[in-house]
């Protein structure tokens, strides 16, 4: 099997996102080298920003933002219109735990914010969370330029 650092790095980043959602993530400082394996420091900083935000602010809010983004913008490998409805039903019946979520379960489900709030157990301001993650990303970018 041939080693492709670009494909491997993409998989590592997606796995890290899933671990952030499931609360099984390693500290960002331990992930920095793996997330930038392919030399794409900008992509690594984007994911590190989520990890840092999760530790710096309310983890449920950062997890919620990731859930929303993956359910709405990460393409499902197989088109399954019932997938979103099944996920919403599990949310309403409270039979789904955050620790059980995978990117495969989320992708292409198009959850709305009310679904996300129900899943994380609280309402929050998504714009504020996005701004916090973006600010951390800018901090990381600035720290890189200072080196």
* pLDDT, tens digit, 9 for 90 and up, residues 55-80: 999 999 999 999 999 999 887 766 67
**How many CB atoms sit inside 10 A of residue 117's CB?**
17
Q: Is residue 20 within a helix (H) or strand (E), and if so which, with residue range?
A: helix 5-22
* pLDDT, tens digit, 9 for 90 and up, residues 6-58: 888 888 999 999 999 998 888 898 998 889 988 999 999 999 999 999 999 99
Nearest of 61, 55, 57 to residue 124 by alpha carbon: 61
Range of the domain at 71: 5-146
Q: How many domains does the chain divide into?
A: 1
pTM: 0.88
**How many CB atoms sit inside 10 A of residue 145's CB?**
6
């Amino acid at each position: 099997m041939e080693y492709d650092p670009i494909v491997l790095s993409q998989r590592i980043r997606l796995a890290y996102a899933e671990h952030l959602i499931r609360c099984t993530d390693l500290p960002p400082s331990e992930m920095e080298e793996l997330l930038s394996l392919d030399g794409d420091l900008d992509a690594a900083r984007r994911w590190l920003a989520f990890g840092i935000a999760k530790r710096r602010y309310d983890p449920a809010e950062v997890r919620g933002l990731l859930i929303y983004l993956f359910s709405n913008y990460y393409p499902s490998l197989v088109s399954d219109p019932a997938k979103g409805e099944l996920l919403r039903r599990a949310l309403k019946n409270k039979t789904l735990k955050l620790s059980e979520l995978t990117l495969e379960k989320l992708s292409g489900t198009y959850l709305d914010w009310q679904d996300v709030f129900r899943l994380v157990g609280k309402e929050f301001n998504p714009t504020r969370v996005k701004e916090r993650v973006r600010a951390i990303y800018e901090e990381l970018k600035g720290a890189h330029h200072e080196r």
